[in-house]
Amino acid sequence: MFGGYHRRTIPIVFTPPAADTRVPLLVVPTGHTYTIEGWEIISDVDISASTANYVETALENAGASGTAQTLMGGTAGGTPAWSKNVSKAGTITAGAGDLTEGQYLNLKYDITGTPTVGRFTLLLQVVDGIGAKA
C-alpha cells in the first residue's frame, strides 16, 4: 500500500577526534534509495560562543566510493554558543537529499581552534524511498 516508503529517525552517537574529519554514517543498501529529509546534532557538553574555538558540521553525499564531498545543505554549529543537550538543526537543500544504492552519507566535522567537545548525537530523518528533499 505504501510501497515501503516510510520515514524513520536514525540516531548516531560518536566521539569526534580533535581534528577535522569526515565520519561515515551509513551506506544505502542494495535495492534502496534513501532521502535525507532533515537532521539535528546534539552536544553532550556546553561549547562556548567563540570566533576562535568552535565546531561546524554538515552532511555530505560521499558517493559510491565514500570519498566524494558533495554538500547536501547547510551547516549546524559554528560560532554561537552550543548548550549541552540542545539540538542544532542542519538543513537539506531541496534536490540534494537523495542517496542511491551503494552511496555513502558522511558527516563533515570541522573544528576551529581548541573548543572543549564531548560526544555528539546525530539524529537523521530518513525516508526509505523518494522523499520531499530528493
Q: What is the DSSP letter of 47?
A: B
Count the domains in the chain.
1
In CATH, what number is assigned to the domain containing residue 50? 2.60.120
Do the domain assignments include residue 54?
Answer: yes
Do the domain assignments include residue 62?
Answer: yes
Q: pLDDT tens digits, residue range 7-35?
A: 899 999 999 888 899 999 999 999 999 99
What predicted TM-score, i.e. pTM, was given to this entire model? 0.90
Do the domain assignments include residue 106?
Answer: yes
Cβ partners under 8 Å of residue 13, min gap 6? 119, 120, 121, 122
Q: Domain range holding 50?
A: 7-128
Do the domain assignments include residue 101?
Answer: yes
Using an 8 Å Cβ cutoff, are 2 and 84 in contact? Answer: no
* Amino acid letter, 92: I
Q: pLDDT tens digits, residue range 34-68?
A: 999 999 999 999 999 999 999 999 999 999 999 99
